[in-house]
A and B are shown apart, each in its own frame.
Chain A
Amino acid sequence: MEKLVSLIPLFPLVGFLYITFFGKGLSKNLIGGIGSGAIFLSFIVSIAVFTTQLHGGNPTTVKVLDWITAGTFDIDIAFIVDPLSTIYLLFITGVGFLIHVYSIGYMHDDEGFNRFIAYLNFFVFFMLILVLGDSYVTMFVGWEGVGLCSFMLIGFWYKDMKNNDAAKKAFIINRIGDLGLIIGMCIIFFQTGSLKYDELYISGSEASSLQGWHLHAAAIFLFIGAMGKSAQIPLHTWLPDAMAGPTPVSALIHAATMVTAGIYMVARSSDLFSASDIASDVVTYVGILTAILGATIALTQNDIKKVLAYSTVSQLGLMFVALGLGAYSIAVFHVITHAFFKALLFLGSGSVIHGMGGEQDIRRMGGLKKYMPTTHITFLIGTIAIAGIPPLAGFFSKDQIIAVAFENNILIFVLASLVSALTAFYMFRLYYLTFHGKFRGTHDQEHHLHESPKVMTIPLVVLAGLSIVGGFIGFPHAVGHSVHFPHWLDHFLEKTVVMPFMEADVATESILMIVATVIALVSTYFAYNMYKKNEELALEDDEIESSTHLTLVNKYYIDELYDKIIRKPVDQLSAFIGKFIEPNVVDGLVKQVSAIPQGIGAATKLVQNGKMVMYILAMIIGLIVLLITLI
């Protein structure tokens, strides 16, 4: 059964290749069918593989191909089947399939339709490689591959240079993270002689030979990789810009799957991270900072997708908080629920944008409720889910993160709660500004407003359903025991990831749950109060006066800062080297060296002046010098 696993990435690959090379004359529906069909097949197989693990199958690796051989460095393309990878498989292919279907509708009128579907397939292929790889190196293949697809999809509308720049930015910032990941791998290999999970963590526990600073450095460098991919401070700036891509891309790549690769990787390396307290602290603090940063910026954004993007950044931060605190399975849990509701929200926003004819500014929307009922309902479900209001998916996962924080670190707990409150607030702000009030767009737009086609709304509905029930896979103790389904996910994952030591009693847990719910509700109320009841509107850009607000709107000026301290200096350094160092110093040295003969020549010229007496003098002096040695 496990052998089937190699089929999972194969289908999307075939889909990609087929559409790329033979898709020219085919109809868009057929292309869409092939694309989503491929993912669906993968999904089916994934379920099959998943069930083996569900029924207590042991983690296995399936070797596909010999890949790299260099002495002890012997990496194959091989797939690991274990709970962590299979659960990822499920939601990647599942959510991926839905988004594919959605795309058929969303991109129907785009001239690059074929290309889009092909890229999506290609992305899923790499994403699957990422989670299936049996070693860091194979994972890195997918890791970079999804980066590539992200690049291609962000810059999908390549005629607009802004998109291209965003794509490039995403790729390059990801690459910075990748460098960290590479160095991390170097350290691990150097110390342990292996990069395979089963050798490192499962069987031999080679990881134990990582000691001292090597251990911390390895973990931190791996985390740098995760920072890049999962948009953590300071490598987060690419993610909001990545919204330049078509909305399904944002849903699939920049919300549901790719950006959670960092969480996957850290969870994968849970042995490593749990052994390194320093690295764990780093992860925690970076995570919470990111969460706050994302949440605060999201408060002021007016681009519907930007809000969601910062929300994603913030949620990812929370997941890292969980990782840093050792609650790996909870982070994975949040990844899954987040995948559901964030994909839902993005697709919903896509539906809105679709209906609005491309408009993304929520200041130009309002009152869409009546035009797009399905979208509205599903979007609301998503909003509730992310806001952490029970019993929707987000509540369970977020609550557990907060609970873990409470157990470990009160400061983090407070901050995480704050993030949770902010989340509820900005999401409802978004919701109200978009769907309530009166329409603020142009007449043209109003005229064209329509509900999206079925092919788009059905995925929304499915995802909404998942957002409602998705949280049940990880009931906390308190609720879980009562429904005999406690921490199902934890138990499922415990073979592969380190489980946190957490023995909160039911009472504490329940209180925390209540506190969390109250926080979410309170800030929902604030949002309701401001945007629904008082019908306050978001300020236009030139109306903003408060400097805090301005800072938030401008995302803390981090982009500008990077521009100043990294991009410009690098450019200037390059220019300086090119204009000055290269011709004057490096080549100048060469010129100096080549001038030596000329110098000697100039000196010799003094004697070689054509006058015989000089030559005679030289001879006689030569003779004298020779003879003088005898005295």
Chain B
Amino acid sequence: MKELIITSLLGISILALDIVKLRKAILPVIILGLLGTITSCILDWGHNENPFNNNMLLFDNYALGFIVILSAVTLVWFLISTDHFSGSESRTDLYALVAFSFAGAMILAAYTNMVMLFLGIEILSIPMYVLAASNKKELISNESGFKYFFLGALASSILLFGIALIYGATGSFDLPTIATAITTNGSGTILTAGLLMIIVGFAFKVSIAPFHFWAPDVYQGAPTMVTALMSTLVKGAAFAAMFKLFATAFAPTLDFTQTIFVVMSIITLLASNAMASIQANTKRLLAYSSVSHAAFMLAAVMLANTISPSVLMYYVLVYSVSSIVTFATLYHISKAQNGAEGFDAFKGLVKRNPILAGAMTLALLSMAGIPPLSGFMAKYFIIGAVIQADQIWLAVIMILSSAIGIYYYLKIIMAMFTPIENAGRIVITDLQRILFIILSIAMVALFFVAAFVK
């Protein structure tokens, strides 16, 4: 609970600091706030199993784990993107929006009530709509923001209809109560319809086919660092929420939903990887790759009653780390050459900035799932679980799409190692350099500590 308070206050205090013209203090406050959140989570670890405030939130280890991961991601994001908004005069607004969004993410990790779910999603999303459109002069940013917002609103209404039907069938918004009701009464048509509509709502949020079409457009149009946030914070939180929902409230229906999830995963994998492999724009490519990773995480949700949530947590963490690195690198590269985002922009990076190139290479290899990088273990856990659930076909498709994934990730790596003439250095700050190095180490180190998953 403390965590949520800290975070909410964080957003407000950012705004307050702006008002009192203490802009210099904003970043330290953010760092303090996020570190405070992490510390508080660690202190609460294992102690807090009681739900808060009439079963609205439950800060159990599941929630705390996700909160720690998401706060760490947000913290890194803030540090690594310090120069992203430096040009913008009203960057405090954006910082505050990120902080609010993070609060929403936190709610999604800890909710135990549909109301909180709904609110969490909206608190997470509404700032994101704005952030996606935050590059106000850019038409594509506008387009991105609008598409995100509008389709998001549509998805929300479908999700809400689903929640309404679930309420109609069970008479409750409380997750455990819903689970009990389903177990005692069985799942009728209305309940299942509600369930399906909730799936649609979530599928939209986490970009699962055929509800993913917004994702590449929005990711591409949004400012790069915002995209980084979308693919880490938003996605992680949405999956945390989804997993929780299907591990508690809808656990009795998982056998039914499994087929749906399998089909959706397969479609997602095929569509996203196929599209990614024909992209010329790396940002859009990464967007599609993000969609394909969603399919892996969806598999974790699908197996919510057999798999340990730590598998999903691990995946989110691993994916977030590499995702932040890729988008941050892309940001630096594209900033250095007038917003170019094609493969050519990456050419000669190994000379222009070896640290960026190294970190990017590791990140891409990690996403591709090549040992000894953490991405391999993450995928391994999922595929192993999928096979255990006897969904061999899904596993095969996952494997095939991983191979396609390697193809397009390597295209970027290839470009980085293609020498070019008279390339200027790409300058990054010391802090960023350290962060890139830390993240690189993390990508390898997470592989070896994967033992603690489960």
Contact = CB atoms under 8 A, between A and B. Distances in A.
Interface of A: 594, 596-602, 604-605, 607-608, 610, 612, 614-616, 618-619, 621-623, 626-627, 630
Interface stretch (B188-196, B312-320, B331-339): B188-196
Contact of A608 (B158, B192, B204, B275): B275
Contacts of A630: 189, 192-193, 196
B266 to A, nearest CB: 12
Given A618-B211, A626-B260, 19 more contacts: A594-B407, A597-B273, A600-B274, A601-B275, A601-B277, A607-B210, A608-B216, A612-B150, A615-B147, A615-B213, A616-B151, A619-B204, A619-B211, A621-B210, A622-B200, A623-B197, A623-B200, A630-B189, A630-B192
A626 B200 contact: yes
Contacts of A602: 278
B450 interface: no
Nearest to B208: A622
B181 to A, nearest CB: 19
Main secondary structure of the interface of A (DSSP, over half): helix
Nearest to B143: A610
B114 interface: no
Interface string B262-281: 00000000110111011000
A445 B83 CA distance: 97
B150 to A, nearest CB: 7
B151 A604 contact: no
Nearest to A626: B196
Given A600-B270, A630-B192, A619 B151 contact: yes
Given A597-B274, A601-B274, A619 B154 contact: yes
Nearest to A594: B407
A598 B217 contact: no
B176 to A, nearest CB: 25
B193 A616 contact: no
Contact of B155 (A597, A618, A619, A626): A619
A614 B213 contact: yes
17 contacts: A596-B274, A597-B273, A597-B274, A598-B278, A600-B271, A600-B274, A605-B275, A612-B151, A615-B213, A618-B213, A619-B155, A622-B210, A623-B197, A626-B200, A627-B193, A627-B196, A627-B197
Contacts of B155: 619
Interface in B159-201: 189, 192-193, 196-197, 199-200
A390 to B, nearest CB: 81
A604 B211 contact: no
B210 A619 contact: yes
Contacts of A615: 147, 151, 213-214
Contact of A598 (B200, B203, B274): B274
B273 A610 contact: no
A597 B189 contact: no
A605 to B, nearest CB: 8
Nearest to A614: B213
B16 interface: no
A602 B271 CA distance: 10
A119 B372 CA distance: 55
A467 B407 CA distance: 76
| Residue among B189, B192, B275 with max Cβ neighbours from chain A (10 Å) | B275
B273 A607 contact: no
Nearest to B259: A629
Nearest to A596: B274
B404 interface: yes
Contacts, number: 71
Interface residues of B, number: 31
A622 B404 contact: no
Contacts of B278: 597-598, 601-602
Nearest to A602: B278
B276 to A, nearest CB: 8
Q: Which 9 A-B pairs have the closest CB atoms?
A: A600-B274, A601-B274, A615-B213, A597-B274, A601-B278, A622-B210, A626-B196, A597-B277, A618-B210
Interface string B233-277: 000000000000000000000000000100000000011011101
B407 to A, nearest CB: 8
B166 to A, nearest CB: 14
Nearest to B404: A597
B257 to A, nearest CB: 10
| Residue among A598, A607, A619 with max Cβ neighbours from chain B (10 Å) | A619
A598 B407 CA distance: 12
A604 B275 contact: yes
Nearest to A608: B213
Contacts of A607: 210, 213
Nearest to B190: A630
A618 B212 CA distance: 9
Nearest to A605: B275
B66 to A, nearest CB: 27
B263 to A, nearest CB: 10
B301 to A, nearest CB: 16
| Residue among A596, A600, A605, A618 with max Cβ neighbours from chain B (10 Å) | A600
A623 B158 contact: yes
B319 to A, nearest CB: 21
Contacts of B273: 597
A254 to B, nearest CB: 57
Contact of B200 (A604, A605, A616, A619): A619
| Residue among A602, A608, A616, A621 with max Cβ neighbours from chain B (10 Å) | A608
Interface string B143-156: 00001001100110
A622 B277 contact: no
A525 B130 CA distance: 118
A194 B58 CA distance: 76
A595 to B, nearest CB: 10
A141 B202 CA distance: 73
Nearest to B200: A623
Nearest to A607: B213
Interface in B393-412: 404, 407
B280 to A, nearest CB: 12
A627 B213 CA distance: 20
A589 to B, nearest CB: 16
A616 B150 CA distance: 10
A214 B162 CA distance: 76
Contact of A604 (B189, B214, B274, B407): B274
A363 to B, nearest CB: 69
A616 B158 CA distance: 12
A623 B264 CA distance: 12
A113 to B, nearest CB: 55
Contacts of A608: 213, 216, 275
A597 B192 CA distance: 34
A626 B273 CA distance: 23
B337 to A, nearest CB: 25
| Residue among B197, B274, B404 with max Cβ neighbours from chain A (10 Å) | B274
Contacts of A594: 407
Nearest to A623: B200
Nearest to A622: B210
Contacts of B404: 597
B271 A604 contact: yes
A602 to B, nearest CB: 8
A372 B249 CA distance: 114
Contacts of A627: 193, 196-197
A621 B200 CA distance: 11
B147 A612 contact: yes
Contacts of B154: 616, 619
Contacts of B204: 619
A622 B213 contact: no
A70 B105 CA distance: 65
A626 B199 contact: yes
B260 A622 contact: no
A598 B217 CA distance: 19
Contacts of B274: 596-601, 604
Nearest to A621: B210
B193 A598 contact: no
Contacts of A626: 196, 199-200, 260
A615 B217 CA distance: 11
